[in-house]
Amino acid sequence: MFDALIGPFIQFDFMRRALFGALVLALGAGPVGVFLMLRRMSLTGDAMAHAILPGAAIGFLIAGLSLPAMTLGGLTAGIVVAVLSGLVTRYTVLKEDASLAAFYLLSLALGVTIVSLRGSSVDLMHVLFGSVLALDDAALILIACITSVTLLILAATYRGLVMECVDPMYLRSVARIGTPLHLVFLGLVVLNLVGGFQALGTLLAVGLMMLPAATARFWSADVTMMVIIAVATGMFSGMGGLLLSYHHGLPAGPAIILVAGIAYLISLFLGRESGLIRAALPRRHLEA
């Protein structure tokens, strides 16, 4: 049992790097995912994940599989799409979901086209699905820096974010920080998606953000506890997915998201907060 669970990480350096990257990603992406879910912006995270694709693709077109170029391109594209979708929502009849959907489809098509102009199908798969087993020192440092910045900003804005989830109108009535807080939070979403892009690609980066958060909601109604459960679920999914990939020859990135999805399905049925099985059981008199 020890050899099956711990052996691969002791024997192989690339497995240790992948595990470190997955654990650090989960530490930053978990809390961001919880607030995305509580703010009913889960699909916004998915749209933003695809929004970084054209920028990363342009970086790839200019410099190949260069970490700085693809990171800078992805970060720029994500910020541009966030700003443009906000402007469209504010000055036209389109709602936020419609404008994000439009930019999401355009970004995905444009990014795939740009990569296809120069790269092979292998390069396209790398951009779309990442390469968690090939993380180098530069990628790990980038992921660690993004997570550190995320945790520091979340610590500074935690009360405001919780208040905006619970009663945004009250927050706007007592303080004028609603809009700046929203923009800062969108910046954190883009940052963590750029970090996740290095390991999981644009199509799966949002999975490590949203699936653990959705899982946590079935076990607790307390925001702090949800954050803790989401981080723990993300870390478990990272380790479990890497072991699944190692022992059964599966692609590592999809295996990580698959484990997170299994955790979500188990919680959907067994969770103490509105899990399907618990909800179907008869309750005691006056039990909430």
Q: How far apart are CA 237 and CA 217, in angstroms?
A: 16
Q: How far apart are CA 189 and CA 49, in angstroms?
A: 9
The answer to the question of residue 280 being in a domain is no
What is the percent of the chain where pLDDT is above 90?
32
Q: How far apart are CA 21 and CA 6, in angstroms?
A: 16
The answer to the question of residue 234 being in a domain is yes
Phi, psi of 119 (to 5 degrees): -90, 175
pLDDT tens readout for residues 235-249:
999 999 999 999 998
- Residue-range definition of the domain harbouring residue 166: 2-273
The pLDDT of residue 263 is 96
pLDDT band for position 223 (cuts 50, 70, 90): very high
Q: For residue 273, give the nearest of 42, 26, 37 by alpha carbon.
A: 37
What is the percent of the chain where pLDDT is above 70?
90
Q: For residue 41, give the nearest of 209, 227, 232, 259 by alpha carbon.
A: 209
Three-state DSSP state, 6:
coil
Q: What are the helix (H) ranges across the chain?
A: 2-5, 7-11, 13-38, 42-51, 53-63, 67-91, 96-118, 121-129, 137-166, 168-174, 178-204, 207-217, 223-248, 252-270, 276-280
Q: Position of tokens 């022992």?
A: 247
The answer to the question of residue 278 being in a domain is no
The answer to the question of residue 175 being in a domain is yes
Cβ(50)–Cβ(197) below 8 Å: no
Q: For residue 32, give the nearest of 179, 146, 142 by alpha carbon.
A: 146
Phi, psi of 283 (to 5 degrees): -105, 155
The answer to the question of residue 127 being in a domain is yes
The answer to the question of residue 162 being in a domain is yes
The answer to the question of residue 165 being in a domain is yes
Residue type, 44: T
- Higher-scoring residue by pLDDT: 69, 230: 230
> How many domains does the chain divide into?
1
Q: Position of tokens 């307390």?
A: 222
Six token digits for residue 96? 């936020």
Residue 265: CATH number of its domain: 1.10.3470.10
> Mind spelling out the 3-state secondary structure of 41-110?
CHHHHHHHHHHCHHHHHHHHHHHCCCHHHHHHHHHHHHHHHHHHHHHHHHHCCCCHHHHHHHHHHHHHHH
Burial of 22 (0-12, 13-18, 19+ CB in 10 A): buried
122 pLDDT above the threshold of 70:
no
The pLDDT of residue 149 is 95
Q: How far apart are CA 121 and CA 198, in angstroms?
A: 18
The answer to the question of residue 213 being in a domain is yes
pLDDT tens readout for residues 33-85:
999 998 887 777 777 887 888 888 888 778 776 778 888 888 888 888 877 87
- Higher-scoring residue by pLDDT: 83, 218: 218
Phi, psi of 52 (to 5 degrees): -80, -10
Cβ(70)–Cβ(52) below 8 Å: no
Mean pLDDT of the chain: 84
